[in-house]
Structure 1
């Protein structure tokens, strides 16, 4: 190829995985050709691929980040359109896991592809050497395995396997593309059965199931012991099997046992249970079937969670065992495996063999312990990788218990001795290598992580809810540190202190953190406490304090760039709206959701949204269109389900930028801020032309119609009325202008009226207790 860019991709195979890969390519703004076989019936020869796209547009969670992305998918069939592969720079094969069918396809591809076009298989079971058997040297040079995880949009892991003939430049080009454009974290794997994540993950699942049957542990007990205390998904093992499908278990077992040597530890523990075979045969395959190890019994109009009794095979009401207590419940793995009774017995029966197995596949499956840990954290959502778990337990303690249990101790676990697999040296994280030496954990170019910065520096400022970090080149990062990164008075205080520091000694500020979510909004717990004791002056003080802090950021004499990801709700959304620019991770879910808890946005969100929609070139001019649109968005607590969708809703400007890879977000936000430094001027304060009482009356009529239809509750009407009052400008006349200060004053007044309302207080309390909105 003349250059190293990938401008068009072909995906062959429109099943769940192939279609999902095509959708993620389209999400990146790259045209993609999706091909599949001819349909068994009907005249539409492209029906299979077209049907896959149509299905994805209705699927939740959505494979597409926005409906516009679907337009980038061109559909076709292998018989008529394989020649179009010549237009593509990368071909991804995601068809049935049968070697003969794959090899037949590769023979056809070799005849039509442009030399230099990368070809990869999404296989998770077939060795690369077998896949390319019989192909030319030129084909082998451009061939690799790219193993995505399902669903491709949301799972960050991709395992890449290069063969001995693979061209290093081709592999690097595909790796860079899936990293930067598709947002994946690349883990280099060796050409060994199951690669990394599925090899360890399948062993872990099998060991967990075996131990439950062997030790007489119930489904609920197994999930409690083997779930959160181990730092694996809260579903636990049986909940996870229900989620991925019980019928997948025999396929995984068959594929691995057929390719692994007979003396492999997985082959030795692989076994089927008659109970599970019967469940699959009768359609009890998990959430997608009639039920699984858990099911919801809706007989008699009820809704009872039931679990499968592993002895009798019958369903019974699910229990909450409450067996794991103390340090073990808080992630102390050493305490967990030493706990008395079935807790320690089950924990060890799972962790001991699993950690030993994970250690045994280095360097066979991947060259370093980092590859194993990254694969399990990214592919199976473990909070810690196996070697990080070993460090928690202690390598010496683990070896001792393995020997006592007659479990072979892997070479690298012997080699590490009394040391740890990870250490901090000179402000750098290092890992223990198979050569017996420690090596720095390397980051790809363009990856900047706050966790690395923290190893080598102290915060410039910090308090109980926020911290300020020097991230280099004159840029400071503001980090939220509270639970769920909730926002409170301490955050606002740090913002106010940060502004003179940045003005004096730095160039720009980035709002960023590395929690699970950017921010879930204001600290509702503190708010409810203030409401319960009728501390109205404190409530109003917190609202005004938030407004002052956010506007101080907005009008600071330096660029402010917010870098959201995950949830950015309520006050977390409002800080975005008050920033000069937003560099959003693609998976940002943002919205002004305050009406769900009986209040309205109080930190400037109303005015900022009005400005965005008044400036929207697609919006009709005049005072009412923008007001109506913002009212619709905020009153319904609309949440954009991606950064792309956030642009359509107006939470992001169309000039704001999107980062696909979460690990690149801070670097990209920093570069965006630095690009704005020269000639920077703070924005002018806006003035609004708003419709006043006549506009509010029109909005009230719309709400009243929803109320009469039963789509809005009594308190919805009250909350919407206050929102309408603010957005229409209060008692202003249509010929007057409303200043930003007046808008903020209206927000405070309406907020306080709602805060005093017992129904709003009930909504706040209900949200805190249940995590769900109260419809009162």
Structure 2
């Protein structure tokens, strides 16, 4: 049996197949990507080669690094099928036609080693039909591995096995999916659509039909089925545009064909002529010229967002949804569903049927409700799974209203009665299994801060940060402000953490479970101070941040930062001052201050100078190193993965990268403990910076960019301040404190400029940088 997956193959170089291959390469293994042979000299591998080249240019990028792309070898199913003998896992991702798949499996079986794992990415064809006629060994090691698009970014991996499946092979596959690919692995039963698409497609279909019935606009529907229910802001129609409008009829048709005629999927279906009309006119969603939403280009070049009328199929300027009940209900989902207007009726008709349908098919699709909720969170990015939504509404309230309307109440909903589907007992989450409560078990090696919070109180807490005891003498510093932005309260907690850990603990981990590690300094506070000319306050904030980060760097114990998502500006700078960083692979790290008309001033320039000038992989001396750093910071470059962050020196080469988000904290804690014995704080840095000559060269380069129209006049002014810091200023700074003083000087000069004010305002109001 395969004990470890070191090499894989993907057959089928379409969007899904090539995306799966790319993410396997992200995991660090060699991948063979095959598709049908093409005619013509040197053209046999063209389908796979074209897919590989396309992915290198795709945004968002399927690859986490340039090195990952090099791990894929393109080939074809005519000449290269025998190379599958060297693979541990073969994924079939070809067209959803069972005869093609069976024919391919027959060929695969002849060339793979005994025990090789083979899987299909199908979501509609039953497993028993796929493996019909295959040998016992093939059946034992065959699985369905259903990835979601795009494979790099969507965390769900549904795995289907059978009674004949080899348990060691299943364990190997599941473990690689979890640790290697970073997926939330959910084991499903072999039913049409498995878990996420069975529920998700029913929800989409029901929502579209009810919107048409109740004359709800696409904007109104997306507003209702968006954030109020913990669903991404795309809502329903925005999600369809994202997935591809042309795929929806195909998906719905395949589900109806796969499900028995008694299934509510059939009774909820209604033909929507507007969809056919849009597709016929070339509106296939975001990948094309638009879908339910489109951008209409006017004569003056400006673009106006438009939306389609579901009844007429005609486009008109999109209007922000004004749904009063959303304002009055706030976060009270029961109140949203109880109001007497058509919006609440729409919300109730859709959500009640989705929840009722899900509750009815639990035993058909999954082993327990926790797996169902996890699948919807991971696959559709819902904040709450269906049973978590029922708990928010109230299980008894839902059952009573269904009874009042004469609708059948699912057995599991009757069984939970006045209780909840989840409860916390002795600091641990338990879920209802239809008869009683079972403890929710985390995979080995998973440590969640949310679980720790259920059984303990913070060591210390203020408005912006908290300290938690995560066991074994390690303390976790958690940011808790909006977007995890950093302010004086954060800095106070850093100093408190240093005192507490020094007295009673061994190490500190900086970590949180927000969508983003930190968006940087609190710009709202900064703008307020700028508007009322509180320059001393701003100077104190800058100096306070420098002092806090420096104290962390030289603390007498290990400090490990563990980011996921964005770590920008001040969020990046705290990483730079840590002994080590354990980064989630999907960490987007950068010093972006120039975008708002300032420079990094919490030690970011200082620490990056040290890394750049001591990087053995970049020959050429101090001038070249500082020039490269000037480009990185001056263009506000952000690493698009933790791997790229190493290339840009935001991370050390030896910093661990963790593929699975849920394993970051445990890995960071282990890293911290491994450094405790014999720990010594780093030695102070002495710099030998290139001086005025390098500064002139940098300034000339920026001036040329301005002439070419690639930078603004104010970009040039900001860049001059950055160059001044990076080259050591007029007095050739050589110590950390001297460079920190240069950072403060440059920052305070720029922050007084009205153009910086305008940039900060633009970011806060629109989220977009202003190039003034």
Which of 762, 768, 775 in structure 1 is aligned with 2:764? 768
- In structure 2, the residue matched to 1:754 is 750
2:427 match: 427
Residue matched to 2:481: 482
- Structure 1 residue 365: Cα displacement: 0.1
Q: Which residue of 2 aligns with 1:369?
A: 369
Could you tell me which residue of structure 1 aligns to residue 634 of structure 2?
635
* Local SS of the residue matching 2:608: helix
1:682 equivalenced with 2:681 (yes/no): yes
CA distance in 2, matches of 1:289, 1:708: 36
What whole-Å deviation, never above 9, does each CA across 1:90-112 have from its counterpart, x for those lacking one? 11111111111111111111111
| Partners of 2:569 and 2:590 within 8 A in 1 | yes
Give the equivalent residue in structure 2 for 1:259: 258
Aligned residue for 2:80, secondary structure, equals helix
The Cα shift of 1:679 comes to: 1.3
Distance 2:586 2:693 in 1: 39
In structure 2, the partner of 1:67 is 66
Alpha-carbon distance between aligned partners in 2 of 1:755 and 1:218, rounded to the nearest angstrom: 44
Find the aligned partners of 1:55 and 1:469 in 2 and give their Cα distance: 45
CA contact (8 A) 1:531 1:761 kept: yes
Superposition map of 1:20-59 within 5 A? 20-39=19-38, 43-59=42-58
Structure 1 distance, partners of 2:283, 2:452, is 49
Secondary structure, aligned partner of 2:616: coil
**For residues 32 and 240 of structure 2, what CA distance do their matches in structure 1 show?**
33
Tell me the equivalent position of 2:103.
104
Aligned residue number for residue 655 of structure 1: 654
Q: Is residue 127 from structure 1 mapped to residue 126 from structure 2 by the alignment? A: yes
Q: Which residue of 1 aligns with 2:506?
A: 507
Partner in structure 1 of residue 472 of structure 2: 473
8 Å Cα contact 2:277/2:313 also seen in 1: no
Q: What residue number does 2:545 align with?
A: 546
Deviation at 1:325, TM superposition (A): 4.3
Within-5 A mapping of 1:148-227: 148-227=147-226
Normalising by structure 1, we get a TM-score of 0.98
The equivalent of 1:555 in structure 2 is: 554
CA distance in 2, matches of 1:102, 1:326: 48
Name the SS of the counterpart of 1:497 in structure 2. Answer: helix
Aligned residue in 1 for 2:583? 584
Does the CA contact (< 8 Å) of 1:231 and 1:331 recur in 2?
no
Shift of 1:174: 0.1
8 Å CA contact retained: 1:127, 1:192? yes
Q: How many residues of Structure 1 are paired with residues of Structure 2 in the alignment?
A: 771
| Corresponding residue number in structure 1 for 2:462 | 463
Give distance in 2, aligned partners of 1:696 and 1:302.
40
Equivalent position of 2:243 in the other structure: 244
Gap regions ≥5 residues in structure 1:
none
Q: Within 1, Cα distance between the matches of 2:283 and 2:670?
A: 52
Contact 2:325 2:336 (8 Å CA) reproduced: no
Give the direction of change, closer, same or farther, for the CA distance of 1:204–1:40 in structure 2 (3 Å limit).
Answer: farther
Distance in 2 between the 1:665 and 1:346 partners? Answer: 41
CA distance in 1 between counterparts of 2:68 and 2:608 reads: 25
Cα distance in 2, alignment partners of residues 197 and 361 from structure 1 = 12
Give the TM-score normalised by structure 2.
0.98
Cα contact 1:337–1:348 (8 A) shared by 2: yes
SS at match of 1:74: strand
Residue aligned with 1:738, SS: coil
Is the 1:421–1:432 contact (alpha carbons within 8 Å) kept by the matching residues of 2? Answer: yes
Partner of 1:718: 717
Q: How far does residue 283 in structure 1 lie from its aligned partner after superposition? A: 1.3
- Mapped partners of 1:132, 1:62: distance in 2: 34
Deviation at 1:406, TM superposition (A): 3.6
Instruction: Please give the per-residue CA displacement for 1:710-767, whole angstroms capped at 9, x wherever unaligned.
Output: 111111111001111111101134xxx6100101011011100001111111111111
Deviation for aligned residue 1:621: 4.8
Once the two structures are superposed, residues 124-157 of structure 1 have per-residue CA deviations (whole angstroms, 9 ceiling, x without a partner) of: 1111111111111111100111100000000000
Decide whether the 8 Å contact of 1:275 with 1:313 is kept in 2.
yes
Give the match's secondary structure for 1:57: helix
Q: Are the aligned partners of 1:502 and 1:509 in contact in 2 as well (CA < 8 Å)?
A: yes
1:688 aligned counterpart, secondary structure: coil
Partner of 1:446: 445
Cα root mean square deviation, aligned: 1.2
Residue 640 of structure 1 aligns to a residue whose secondary structure is: coil
Which residue pairs with 1:4 in the alignment? 3
Shift of 1:339: 2.1
Match of 1:386 in 2: 386
Query: CA–CA distance in 2 between the matches of 1:383 and 1:320?
Result: 23
Q: Comparing 689-698 with 210-219, which one deviates more in the overlay?
A: 689-698
Matched with 2:290 is 291
User: Does 2:342 match 1:346?
Assistant: no
Is contact 1:34-1:49 (8 Å) kept? yes
Q: Residue 242 of structure 1 contacts residue 293 of structure 1 at CA under 8 Å; is this kept in 2?
A: yes
Please state how far the C-alpha of 1:548 moved relative to its aligned partner. 0.5
Note the C-alpha offset of 1:420.
0.2
Do the aligned residues in 2 keep the contact of 1:147 with 1:159 (CA within 8 Å)?
yes
Q: Distance in 2 between matches of 1:42 and 1:388?
A: 58
Give 1:235 shift.
1.1
Q: Does the Cα contact within 8 Å between 1:690 and 1:732 map onto a contact in 2?
A: no
Distance 1:305 1:500 in 2: 53
Query: Per-residue deviation at 1:275?
Result: 1.8
Show the counterpart of 2:738: 742
Work out the CA distance in 2 between the residues paired with 1:417 and 1:109.
51
Unpaired segments ≥5 residues, structure 2: none
Q: What is the CA–CA distance in structure 1 between the aligned matches of 2:328 and 2:517, rounded to whole Å?
A: 29
Q: How far does residue 271 in structure 1 lie from its aligned partner after superposition?
A: 2.7
| Residues 7, 31 of structure 1: 8 Å contact kept | yes
Once residues 761 and 290 of structure 1 are traced to their aligned partners in structure 2, the CA distance between those partners, rounded to angstroms, is 37
| 2:346 is aligned with 1:337 | no
Q: How many Å separate the matches in 1 of 2:622 and 2:45?
A: 48
Give how far 1:321 is off.
2.5
Q: Is the 8 A contact 1:517 1:568 kept in 2?
A: yes
Query: Deviation of residue 288 (structure 1)?
Result: 2.1
SS in 2 for 1:116: coil
Partner of 2:272: 273
SS in 1 for 2:125: coil
